Amino acid sequence: MKKIHFTGIGGAGMAPLAELSLARGFAVSGSDMAESPKCRHLEASGAEVFYGHREDNLPDDADLLVFSSAVTEENCERKKARHLGIREIRRGGYLAELSALYRRCVSVTGTHGKSSISSALAMILRQCGKDPGFMIGAEVAGLPSCASGDGDIFVTEADESDGTHTLLKNFLAVVPNIEDDHEWSLGGKEVLENNFRKVAANSAKLLYYASPECDKLFADHPDKVRLPKIPDKFGDLRGFQAANAFIAAQAAILLGCEESAALAAAQKNYPQVARRMTVHKETEKLLVVEDYAHHPTEVKAAISLLRFQYPGRHLRILFQPHRFARLEKYFSEFVSVLSAADSVFVAPVFAAWSESGKVDSVMLANEIGGTAVEGSFEQWAKAVKKDLPENSVIAVLGAGDINQAIQFI
């Protein structure tokens, strides 16, 4: 039995890989700095999980050590692996190796919609009688984070921010959109574009929405399906949900699903992905919704959908910018899209790996005539609830830890 050790096993991108490895029959061990629901679930599924990083955590007879981007080569478990000659591989490389066990790998990549489209596709395939393997990078109601399937189709989202999407050999790549987000972390727009050219070269088939960027990069692909228009309506779905569901249905059709069945399944069962238009509180006078939107395009789409779904209601936004570099790059765009709300409260920047920047939350709030909040999550919530008109919608937007304020609203 192959023995795989995961350093950083509880991470959002690592835990599903560990779970899929268990499902494939591998012996799994791993370590993380703190106990978490993901770690407890893996333990219950048969993994041996250690808390804290120590040399002894890594079995001497392990076949492979998988590590997350946050784990440096100075990590004691990685040092031991090198000393013993145990092969090491980054998370994205291991995903590529797992996907190669399937006859048809389908990767969903691009800037927006990866989790929703990949989970929608997995659900459509299941409803059409297929048994796909899949790995989803977010929690989805009624769908496990991964499944091994029957060995034919494997659906996964492929992260463009670290180049993971360039490593997979695809039967089909689904690319709903490409924007210049992450070019600042990858080393420039040329690197970002070349990475998507690699995706095209590694894919037997391509499915994408027409856009200047996609058309530029994919025009020469010999087996492409170019969807000429992004639908604003698909059954009862609207906006970005309609666009996500429609392209997922088109992917299912390319994978052999009957067209009418795929379209019906996509319209009927849009995936309830965690932190994607999630309703946390609904009364006659107040609705509290959360969304992962952290890019101007996503914020604009979220506000547009909320305006459609809840017409005439006061829309108040609590927004947490994600990364100083992103806020600086898109400052004017954030000002424009957030100004479409009735009132805006801006939380401190979720800094991730960067500590400061040329612009901050106070500057953003001032520019749009909003309010900057500070202090604890409870204080953020208190500020947002103050002087709130009746029949309001509070939308909590961001990809950082802003969701911890929701319990106090």
Task: Give dist(CA 245, CA 266) in Å, integer.
Answer: 5
Say how many CA atoms lie within 13 Å of 270 toward its Cβ. Answer: 20
Give the pLDDT mean for 100-126.
94
Phi-psi region of 320 (alpha: psi -120 to 50; beta: other; left: phi over 0): beta
Task: Give dist(CA 283, CA 388) in Å, integer.
Answer: 14
Percent of the chain residues topping a pLDDT of 70: 97
Quick count: other Cβ atoms within 10 Å of Cβ 224? 17
Distance of CA 238 to CAs 26, 145, 201, 244, 305, Å? Answer: 42, 25, 33, 10, 7
pLDDT in tens, 171-196: 999 999 988 766 666 666 888 888 99
pTM for the structure as a whole: 0.83
Question: Which pLDDT value is given to residue 252?
Answer: 98
Question: Which pLDDT value is given to residue 351?
Answer: 85
Please state which CATH number belongs to domain 3-91.
3.40.50.720
Can you tell me whether residue 88 is helix, strand or coil? Answer: strand
Can you tell me whether residue 10 is helix, strand or coil? Answer: coil
Domain locations along the chain:
3-91, 100-268, 278-408
pLDDT in tens, 310-362: 999 999 999 999 989 889 989 999 999 999 999 999 999 998 665 678 899 99
pLDDT in tens, 139-174: 888 888 889 998 799 999 988 877 789 999 999 999
pLDDT in tens, 240-275: 899 999 999 999 999 999 999 999 999 998 988 888
Reply yes or no on whether the pLDDT at 47 is more than 60: yes
| Residue 132 burial by Cβ neighbours in a 10 Å radius (0-12, 13-18, 19+) | buried
Question: Which pLDDT value is given to residue 358?
Answer: 87
Question: Which pLDDT value is given to residue 1?
Answer: 67
Task: Give dist(CA 327, CA 333) in Å, integer.
Answer: 9
Residues with Cβ within 8 Å of 83's Cβ and at least 6 positions away in sequence, in order, are: none
Total length of the chain:
409
| Residue 65 burial by Cβ neighbours in a 10 Å radius (0-12, 13-18, 19+) | buried
Please state which CATH number belongs to domain 100-268.
3.40.1190.10
Give the pLDDT mean for 213-225.
94
Least reliable range by pLDDT among 32-46, 200-214, 323-337, 353-367: 353-367
Task: Give dist(CA 90, CA 95) in Å, integer.
Answer: 9
pLDDT in tens, 128-148: 999 999 998 888 888 888 899
Question: Which pLDDT value is given to residue 183?
Answer: 61
Task: Give dist(CA 385, CA 379) in Å, integer.
Answer: 10
CATH architecture of 278-408: Alpha-Beta Complex (3.90)
